[in-house]
Amino acid sequence: MLNRILLRALLGAATGLAFVRPACAAPSFTQEGGILLSSVSVQSVVPIVGGFRMYLTSGPYRVVSATSTNQVSWTYESGVRLSTTAGSFDVSSITAVGVTRSTDPASGWRMYYVGIDSGGLYRVLSATSTDGLAWGKEAGVRFSNNSGAGFIGRLAPFDASTSLLRVYYIADKYGANTAANYAVHSASSADGGLVFQTEGTLLSGANAFAVGVTTLTGGNTRLYYSAPLSAGATVTQVLSAKGTDGLAFTTESSVRLSTTAGDSAIGGLVVLRSTESWRWRMFTDYTVGGTTQTVVSHALTRVPAVYSFSPNAAFKGLSSVSYALTGEVFSPAPTVSFVLGTSTFNATSVTRTDDTALSGALSTLTRSVARYNVAVVNADGQTGVLANAFTIELPPGQVSIVDNLFRPLKGGRAAITVEIFDPGNVTMRLYTVDGGLVATLYDGPMPAGQTTLNWDGRTPSGNVVASGVYLLHTRGPRIDLTERIVVIK
């Protein structure tokens, strides 16, 4: 009965789980319906042979696990993975867990967890396992905050390189336990994960309550962190930041996932590749409004995010224009479209490099001159748009002269062809090299296409001009050119 109540509450909350697609930021997550697990808090999800294993805290005293082949249907595994031990650093409770591959034991696992002792001190401890099920605690303390007096919350271990392990964690940045001062911190180990060097606070000014980390295509790192809308408020949103070295991060605009304080508060936070590999799945746990129970739910990056498109413009009338497009969450076999109001045309070819890069060709032969939105349509129909990203414009006008060196006294003349792609007023004037006006050859409306005129080397009064160089200046729609004509008597 309780599960049904919680399910109704969470599904009701899902209407407040706002989907916001940021412009040139990061993909947002769409909440997926239903409760995965209840009365537990998600801590870590790792790939295993044939599927995935989720580690969860069940109350303050023990760590349990569940497995799934598809990241959606989860089954509890029997037994307890880890529990508190009398007289130890974790005698009071185990509050946060992060699991990663370990070189000791070889091809095994290491679990980092926050233990609280009888005096209320927080310490990050560790345990190892060869199979991910039976765990043995390791002696000693991996690291702490203010000698244990400072709060430490959620943990996210991360392989920064083949030789460096980094753990991102939540801690009071002043070494106490004030929620308004919770922030993302990091510590690193170069010996396989036993001796750590704390690295300080990341994302200065960001109040954070849970942290997750992923490696993006191309090698960049993205941090996810949960936060309240304002100091002291319920934790209702997940934000993100991106970096290249694992320490310096730039916050990304908009919100990855959000709910409302009246619906539920976000607790745990884990992000990993979905089973499709080109999407991301976020696992969170919620304390549903009006209850004391926690439930684990999940969200998925459904809509592709489009960040850049090049070139930003091309001339009308081209059969093939090469393009490159960047973003995230691009499925295999996507479509690239160009949208102008209610009309759309597609790229003639699309090559998918990976989930973040597309390229190909498009044709502007019969397309309208205008500024277009660029859309990526995934194979399932989900569409991401970059507004006003591509412009089709008219080519510049051209002037060509046949016989631009001629002898007017022997019947020679210059044949001048003007080509414009948009009709409009055109002026064509001849000048001497020192700027003196010789003649106006044309001044008036001209149709799109080619117009040919002849100059016989005479002034408007009929006199043959002197031998020398003359400058023909043509001005009109997308044309402003000066060409040379040489007259020899």
- Which CATH number characterizes residue 463's domain? 2.60.40.4070
Which residue would you say has higher pLDDT here, 2 or 360?
Answer: 360
The confidence score (pLDDT) of residue 162 equals 86
For 254-320, strand residue ranges (E) read 257-258, 264-273, 280-288, 294-300, 305-310, 313-315
| CATH code for the domain in which residue 238 is found | 2.115.10.20
Rounded CA-CA distance 357/452 in Å is 47
Encoded tokens for 250 = 């730039």
**Confidence at 103, pLDDT banded by 50, 70, 90:** confident
Number of domains forming the structure of the chain:
3
The confidence score (pLDDT) of residue 287 equals 83
**Confidence at 263, pLDDT banded by 50, 70, 90:** low
**Last residue of some domain: 351, 376, 393?**
393
Instruction: Cis check for the bond before 311: say yes or no (omega within 30 of 0).
Output: yes
Do 233 and 361 lie in a common domain?
no
The confidence score (pLDDT) of residue 170 equals 98
The confidence score (pLDDT) of residue 10 equals 39
Do 384 and 415 lie in a common domain?
no
The confidence score (pLDDT) of residue 152 equals 98
How many residues appear in the chain? 489
The confidence score (pLDDT) of residue 353 equals 98
> Above pLDDT 70, what percent of the chain?
94
The confidence score (pLDDT) of residue 4 equals 38
Encoded tokens for 178 = 């004030």
Please give the distance of CA 486 from its chain centroid, rounded to a whole number: 59
For 21-159, strand residue ranges (E) read 30-38, 41-48, 51-58, 62-68, 75-76, 82-83, 93-102, 108-116, 122-129, 136-137, 152-159
Question: Which 8-state DSSP code applies to residue 2?
Answer: H
| CATH code for the domain in which residue 373 is found | 2.60.40.10
**Last residue of some domain: 285, 300, 315?**
300
Amino acid, single-letter form, for residue 431: Y
For residue 382, the SS3 value is coil
**Confidence at 9, pLDDT banded by 50, 70, 90:** very low
Out of 30-44, 122-136, 172-186, 251-265, least confident range = 251-265
**Last residue of some domain: 265, 300, 335?**
300
Mean pLDDT in residue range 392-398: 94
> Above pLDDT 90, what percent of the chain?
85
Rounded CA-CA distance 242/408 in Å is 71
Do 94 and 210 lie in a common domain?
yes
Q: Which residues are bridge partners to 431 per DSSP?
A: 437, 471
- What mean pLDDT, rounded, does the chain reach? 92
Mean pLDDT in residue range 380-402: 96
**Confidence at 254, pLDDT banded by 50, 70, 90:** very high
Do 57 and 169 lie in a common domain?
yes
Do 130 and 214 lie in a common domain?
yes
pLDDT at residue 16 is higher than 70: no
**Confidence at 233, pLDDT banded by 50, 70, 90:** confident
Contacts within 8 Å (CB) and 24+ apart, 15-20? 16/258, 16/259, 16/260, 16/262, 16/263, 17/257, 17/258, 17/259, 17/263, 17/299, 18/255, 18/258, 18/259, 19/303, 20/254, 20/255, 20/258
For residue 228, the SS3 value is strand
User: Residue 226 to residues 26, 212, 286: CA-CA distances in angstroms?
Assistant: 15, 9, 12
User: Using alpha carbons only, what angle is made at residue 382 by residues 227 and 311, rounded to the nearest 5 degrees?
Assistant: 95
Q: What pTM was computed for the model? A: 0.84
Out of 1-10, 123-132, 446-455, 456-465, least confident range = 1-10
- Give, rounded to a whole angstrom, the gap between the first and last alpha carbons of the chain: 107
Do 411 and 429 lie in a common domain?
yes
Rounded CA-CA distance 63/84 in Å is 9
Q: What is the pLDDT of residues 409-460, one digit of tens each?
A: 999 999 999 999 889 999 999 999 999 999 999 999 999 999 999 999 999 9
Q: What is the pLDDT of residues 331-386, one digit of tens each?
A: 999 999 999 999 999 999 999 999 999 999 999 999 999 999 999 999 999 999 99
The confidence score (pLDDT) of residue 251 equals 95
CB distance 282 to 239 below 8 Å: no
pLDDT at residue 19 is higher than 50: no
Out of 131-135, 233-237, 306-310, least confident range = 233-237
**Confidence at 261, pLDDT banded by 50, 70, 90:** low
State the DSSP string of 161-224: SSS-EEEEEEEETTSS--GGGEEEEEEEESSSSSS-EEEEE-STT---SEEEEEEPTTS-EEEE
Enclosing domain of residue 466: 398-487
Report strand pairing: 313-315 vs 383-393: parallel
Do 172 and 272 lie in a common domain?
yes
Do 60 and 207 lie in a common domain?
yes
Do 381 and 409 lie in a common domain?
no
Question: Which 8-state DSSP code applies to residue 8?
Answer: H
Do 68 and 184 lie in a common domain?
yes
Q: Which residues are bridge partners to 77 per DSSP?
A: none
Do 320 and 293 lie in a common domain?
no
The confidence score (pLDDT) of residue 20 equals 32
The confidence score (pLDDT) of residue 33 equals 79
CB distance 63 to 82 below 8 Å: yes
Do 467 and 331 lie in a common domain?
no
The confidence score (pLDDT) of residue 480 equals 96
**Confidence at 6, pLDDT banded by 50, 70, 90:** very low
The confidence score (pLDDT) of residue 1 equals 36
The confidence score (pLDDT) of residue 25 equals 67
